[in-house]
Amino acid sequence: MKKIYYNGKFITLEPEECEAIFIQDKIIKKVGSKQDIFAFQDKDTQIIDLKGKTIMPSFIDSHSHFIAVANGFLQVSLKECSNMKDIEIKLQEFMSQNKIGEHDWIMASGYDQNQLQEKEHITKDRLDKIIENNPVVLKHTSEHAGVFNTKALEILGITSKTLAPAGGKIEQKEGELTGLLEENAFIEYIKKVPMPDEKALLNACIKAQQKYLSYGITTIQEGMLTKELIPIYQDLLESQELKVDLVAYMDMKIKESVKKIFAKHMKSYEKNMKIGGYKIFLDGSPQLKTAWLRKPYKEEKIYCGYPTMTDEQIEKAIEETKKENMQILAHCNGDKAAEQFIHAIKKEGKAMIPLRPVIIHAQLLGLDQLEEVKEYGIIPSFFVAHTYYWGDVHIENLGIERARKISPVNSTLKQEIPFTFHQDAPVIEPNMFETIWCAVKRKTKNGKILGEEERIPLIEAIKAVTINAAYQYFEENEKGSIKEGKLANFIIIDKNPFEVETDEIKNIQILETIKEGETLWKN
């Protein structure tokens, strides 16, 4: 199918002037004046009048967890809960409105103790009073902790004598379990919770794909491909329902299985999925106070959070990625975790530069660390929306001077280091225009400007979720801008972000999402 788009406003992210676009066979064949473009018209060409609307490159998700987003459609959402009573009501409503079997697991997600009036985690004892006979898990919004009721703890074999794995915590008070598990302990045991049935999961994956498309995203990520997710992806690929491009990053412990099962997907797309490399976790979450810092949290004498991997484990992982010529993504929120990762990269030397290693989140990446980040070709992928969602919490946990330096985007830009943005969905919605607004405005929920000096121009914020994100995936020659020879991946939007007030950027609506010339979502 040949198509010509014209009579609109074009954000190409390329220097040439654009009045119209001609696409054929999924590719942008010509960008230029209307006169030049219409010379390609014939009887088989579809002419699309944009009627003054704006068209720009579609968005690229540089870090999220696709199956977790899908699972969200099968779980109780607690994101709007502001107190313990709200949580109780949500769980009771779910029980009464659904046919829950006697032994069925109840999964809820999205609670945040920082946003609750009580400012504390719910306990297993309180959960037991709400639901006694079914195993229940409440996942924290960070996806790095969760609370299990007594029934769930019993099924999983967790007692007061159970030792937490290194880099994790099973909380106790006065020798009794509270139900709260953090970091590696939570990750280890949540994987033992039974998955929903195949049909329900496949339907949830289709809904999750539509969610990403509704936000203008045509390339998405599975940020941690574990053993438990392999059969889900096999079913998804067999169904041929995957329409967006998906890049998955492996848990290193299962690499041999992944390489065997997904041999055709290694570093290249097959049925719209490719294996991009490896993912490791070096620390936790700053809003949980589990991110690993170089200096203690405010109001703490010595507590700096904690690591989840040893130096030796990280160095071995980096060595393997170098040997296999694979990319590695490292979850590092705290500056001490970033230091640990940078040090391991340095040990392998400049040979790591072509592999484009990525620091995921980079919340407290130090300004003094940027020089080595640049030297070794490390890409920071900032969760910059923290400035809005948890900026006030960071002020409380870190103090204003440290909090204002979270997501040091402008300092990174000044160093000419390529960077990307993400939402870590399902932690927050994969809303790219909201994230762009966060980078430009840096305003907290309570209305404070958090680090005015780290604001960046709008064009640079857009690049972080388009051309820079394509670079992170080694796809800058195929995606991320409107340029001849690239894939015809676009979004049509209701307002031009360069023509609205800053606070209106977050309200821009996606009207249509187009991948390789085909409309996959339309409002």
Cα 323 versus chain centre, distance: 27
CA distance 216 to 520: 10
Residue with tokens 């929306």: 385
Residue 68 has what pLDDT?
94
E strands, 340-471, in order: 358-361, 379-382, 420-421
Residue 188 has what pLDDT?
93
pLDDT at 132 > cutoff 90: no
pLDDT at 146 > cutoff 90: yes
Three-state SS for 42-106 is: CCCEEEEECCCCEEEECEECCCCEHHHHHHHHHCEECCCCCCHHHHHHHHHHHHHHCCCCCCCCE
Residues forming a β-bridge with 327:
277
Entry pTM: 0.94
Residue 103 has what pLDDT?
85
Contact 342, 348 (CB under 8 A): no
pLDDT at 241 > cutoff 90: yes
Q: State mean pLDDT over 88-93.
A: 92
**48-62, 90-104, 301-315, 342-356: the lowest-pLDDT one:** 90-104
**98-107, 143-152, 377-386: the lowest-pLDDT one:** 98-107
Residue 370 has what pLDDT?
98
Question: How does DSSP classify residue 83?
Answer: S
CA distance 457 to 464: 11
Q: State mean pLDDT over 456-480.
A: 98
3-state class (DSSP) for residue 57: strand
CA distance 473 to 466: 11
Residues 6+ away with beta carbon under 8 Å from 101: none
Alpha helices (H) in 240-331, listed in sequence order: 255-261, 311-324
Residue 197 has what pLDDT?
87
CA distance 453 to 142: 27
Q: State mean pLDDT over 202-224.
A: 98
pLDDT at 1 > cutoff 90: no
Q: State mean pLDDT over 242-258.
A: 97
Residues forming a β-bridge with 107:
137
Residue 193 has what pLDDT?
92
Residue 302 has what pLDDT?
97
Q: State mean pLDDT over 183-192.
A: 93
Residue 448 has what pLDDT?
97
What tokens were used for 18?
A: 């654009």
Question: Minimal CA–CA distance to 326: which of 266, 254, 376, 374?
Answer: 266
pLDDT at 494 > cutoff 90: yes
Report pLDDT digits (tens) over 400-425.
999 999 999 999 999 999 999 999 99
pLDDT at 442 > cutoff 90: yes
Residue 15 has what pLDDT?
85
pLDDT at 341 > cutoff 90: yes
Kindly tell me the sign of the dihedral angle through the C-alpha atoms of 117, 121, 125, 130. positive
Contact 292, 307 (CB under 8 A): yes
Mean of the per-residue pLDDT values for the chain? Answer: 96
Residue 339 has what pLDDT?
98
CA distance 342 to 353: 12
Residue 483 has what pLDDT?
97
φ, ψ of residue 454 in degrees (nearest 5)? -100, 5
Residue 198 has what pLDDT?
87
pLDDT at 89 > cutoff 90: yes
pLDDT at 215 > cutoff 90: yes
pLDDT band, residue 98 (cuts 50/70/90): confident
CA distance 230 to 240: 16
Residue 17 has what pLDDT?
84
Q: State mean pLDDT over 382-400.
A: 97
Edge-first strand listing for the sheet containing 2-6: 27-32, 20-24, 2-6, 45-49
Residue 293 has what pLDDT?
98
Q: State mean pLDDT over 29-53.
A: 95
Question: Minimal CA–CA distance to 183: which of 344, 297, 300, 306?
Answer: 306
Residue 102 has what pLDDT?
81
CA distance 170 to 274: 35
Q: State mean pLDDT over 210-229.
A: 97
Residue 75 has what pLDDT?
92
